[in-house]
Amino acid sequence: AGEKKTSEKAPGKKKPSEKKPAEQKAGQKEGGEKKKRVRKHHASRNPVLARGIGRYSRSAMYARKALYKRKYTAPETKIEKKKKEKPRATITKPVGGDKNGGSRVVKIRKMPRYYPTEDVPRKLLSHGKKPFSQHKRRLRASITPGTVLILLTGRHRGKRVVFLKQLDTGLLLVTGPLAINRVPLRRAHQKFVIATSTKVDISGVKIPKHLTDAYFKKKRLRKPKHQEGEIFDTEKEKYELTEQRKTDQKAVDSQVLAQIKKVPQLRGYLRSTFCLSNGVYPHKLVF
């Protein structure tokens, strides 16, 4: 089979060389076509002695297949090109102060100024330990946008509140609305909340996109100017209401209130607080 194929190739190759003067264009075309076409694969050059056992060894096969002259490299990808671009090693900065005027060349990445006596031991490989930002967020099936929730902890405990959406950290964005029970746009934790089966239709309500965790996060000032006595006073302990919060509250509440007013007695329900009394057992209540 090998011989037949080589004989086929040979006349094929010879054709353009023979017909050079007459059909140069055709020959060139054929040659060009052959280069583009995938070369026919040769049959196995390693005859089989028994199943799984060939006649020639790896090194003999290397020579027989002429792999020494067939070395391919993958095309360089964009990422590799970017990697080749070396980052700047040094930067020239102007000299100020004593020797004002000229410029000096400064290394960007400097050698370490301290080598520890003992090297830090290499950490063992771990698997599946993700940072909090990559954790999977779950939401109970009973909590859907528009559900009335009962807050159980915090300064608003016992209050009934409307659920808007779940934020990226998994906390629930919730609003009173403020006009009804003085609960502003606030975050609540899923575990410290009872989901009732009462739902408000919130499908048409548009919640502004800038209400994220960063918006609600508590702010801490950190600029100690070497005066340790004053640090404990200047940190914000009192919460200050900003104008942005007021406008956001209005924007969301106006839409939610409109939906609440459609259901009779819902407004009064949201104004009331949840409490247990004699003979009321939470495990027996249907919420």
| Residue numbers at the binding site for other proteins (CB under 8 A) | 148, 150, 160, 196-198, 265-266, 268-269, 272, 274, 284-287
Length of the chain: 287
Cα gap 86→84, rounded to integer Å: 6
CB atoms within 10 A of CB 270: 22
- Asked if residue 228 lies in contact with residue 271, where contact means CB atoms within 8 angstroms, the answer is no
Minimum Å gap between C-beta 175 and other proteins is 18
- Asked if residue 175 lies in contact with residue 269, where contact means CB atoms within 8 angstroms, the answer is no
Minimum Å gap between C-beta 162 and other proteins is 13
Q: At residue 172, what are phi and psi to the nearest 5 degrees?
A: -95, 135
Residue whose CB is less far from other proteins, 153 or 244:
153
Q: At residue 107, what are phi and psi to the nearest 5 degrees?
A: -75, 140
Residue whose CB is less far from other proteins, 173 or 200:
200
Residue whose CB is less far from other proteins, 68 or 281:
281
Minimum Å gap between C-beta 204 and other proteins is 21
Structure tokens at 70: 């067939």
Residue whose CB is less far from other proteins, 166 or 198:
198
Minimum Å gap between C-beta 191 and other proteins is 19
Residue whose CB is less far from other proteins, 62 or 287:
287
Q: Distance between alpha carbon 89 and the CA centroid of its chain, in Å?
A: 31
Q: What is the DSSP string of 162-205?
A: EEEEE-TTSPEEEE--HHHHS--SEEE-GGGEEEEEEE---TTP
Q: What is the DSSP string of 36-63?
A: HSPPPPPPPSS-EEETTEESS-HHHHHH
Strand-pair category, 147-151 with 103-107:
unpaired
Minimum Å gap between C-beta 285 and other proteins is 7
Q: Show Cβ contacts of residue 173 under 8 Å, excluding neighbours closer than 6 positions.
A: 163, 164, 165, 166, 167, 185, 186, 187, 207, 211
Residue whose CB is less far from other proteins, 166 or 196:
196
Residue whose CB is less far from other proteins, 65 or 271:
271
Residue whose CB is less far from other proteins, 65 or 267:
267
Minimum Å gap between C-beta 196 and other proteins is 5
Q: Distance between alpha carbon 128 and the CA centroid of its chain, in Å?
A: 16
Minimum Å gap between C-beta 186 and other proteins is 20
Minimum Å gap between C-beta 275 and other proteins is 11
